[in-house]
Amino acid sequence: MRNRFRLRALLLTSLVLILLILSGCSAKESVLPPVPVQPGENGSDAPWTPSTDPASVPPETETNAPTEEIPSSEDPVISEPDPVTEPTPAPVTEPLETDPPYRPNLTEQFTKDDWRRINTFLSNFSEIWFDDYASDESGEDFDLLQYGYLHLKINDNAKVHYDSGYYYVTKADMDKCLNRFFGRTVPAGEYTRSSYGYSETISYRNDAFQYPAADGEAYNYLTIVYQMQETDNQTYLVAFDVFELDIEEYFDRGISDSYYAMNYSEAVSSGQLTYVYSGTAEIRDYENGTLKSYQLLSYSIN
């Protein structure tokens, strides 16, 4: 028992010594140098203390960042001149010469009779593969005579006469046909056209134009208009598509009048017409007795 008390006393003594040693070390470390005196607000000598306001804490900077020299009030401050900027030119807008003023599409108000009238008139040209034409250009006489012959052959065959391998159309019948569709006629005479090394001639004999006989052609093209606008000159600008009728139906029944009375959407969805090409034309009104139709001023295939 006595030994146990001695051992406990020894342990307590050792513990006290250790605590005294530790407290002495911490006392030495807690000794701080005196607080330096910095100028306070309004030049006072109050001791400086760090600010707790986050806005007053300067941001951290990289240690290798160059320091900026702050010029003193005695050094002249030289400011760089403002950069010279060239004035930006205002955009120049000019109306396009090809932009016509808006004009309504007359086909939006068409009746079945209106569709039949315009489609039938322009189909007179597409059915014989009529090419580009302008009434104010020279050199169109051959094309007009060719048109008159084929138009009469398809639509008024009694006016086309045959003799010794040639077809004939009298000058009077030709004038009447051309005046009806173009508002003009062609002088009597012989006309020749050469293209791709091939030459064609329309002769003139006994007051009639003479054409080499040829048969077997299919005239199964028809025109469907999709836009028509009136101009300031009381003419119309027309945009159209040319379609080909199914060849078997054409040889069985020809082109039914119902096709000419179709509007554009009906023609596209008919299932019997195949698109061939597009074109534009300028036309004007034509009336002769009870007949109300048009005359052609220009024709262009796209």
pLDDT digits (tens, 9 = 90+) for 255-297: 999 999 999 999 999 988 999 999 999 999 999 999 999 999 9
Give the per-residue pLDDT at 75: 53
pLDDT of 140 reads 86
Q: How confident is the model at residue 49 (pLDDT cuts 50, 70, 90)?
A: very low
> Domain limits of the chain?
103-127+219-302, 135-215
Q: Between 203 and 67, where is the model more confident? A: 203
Mean residue pLDDT of the chain comes to 79
Low-confidence winner among 54-58, 123-127, 277-281 (lowest mean pLDDT) = 54-58
Q: Which of 47-61, 103-117, 159-173, 184-198 comes out lowest in average pLDDT? A: 47-61
Threshold 0.85, pTM exceeds: no
pLDDT exceeds 70 at position 62: no
Interaxial angle between packed helices 112-126 and 141-155, expressed in degrees from 0 to 180 and rounded to the nearest 10: 120
Query: Does the pLDDT at position 134 exceed 80?
Result: yes
**pLDDT score for 79:** 57
* Residue-level pLDDT at 77: 54
| pLDDT category of residue 195 using cuts at 50, 70 and 90 | confident
Residue 239 has pLDDT above 60, yes or no: yes
Three-state SS across the chain? Answer: CHHHHHHHHHHHHHHHHHHHHHHHHHHHHCCCCCCCCCCCHHHCCCCCCCCCCHHHCCCCCCCCCCCCCCCCCCCCCCCCCCCCCCCCCCCCCCCCCCCCCCCCCHHHHCCHHHHHHHHHHHHHHHCCCCCCEECCCCCCHHHHHHHHHHHHHHHCHHHCEEECCEEEEEHHHHHHHHHHHHCCCCCCCCEEEEECCEEEEEEEECCEEEEECCCCCCCCEEEEEEEEEECCCCCEEEEEEEEEECHHHHHHHCCCHHHHCCCHHHHHCCCCEEEEEEEEEEEEEEEECCEEEEEEEEEEEC
Dmax (CA) for the chain in angstroms is 169
Mean pLDDT of 201-213: 95
Question: Which range, of 10-14, 105-109, 133-137, averages the lowest pLDDT?
Answer: 10-14
* Band of residue 126 on the pLDDT scale cut at 50, 70, 90: very high
pLDDT at 69 over 70: no
Higher pLDDT, 66 or 249: 249
Per-residue pLDDT for 88 more than 60? no
Place of tokens 């955009």: 91
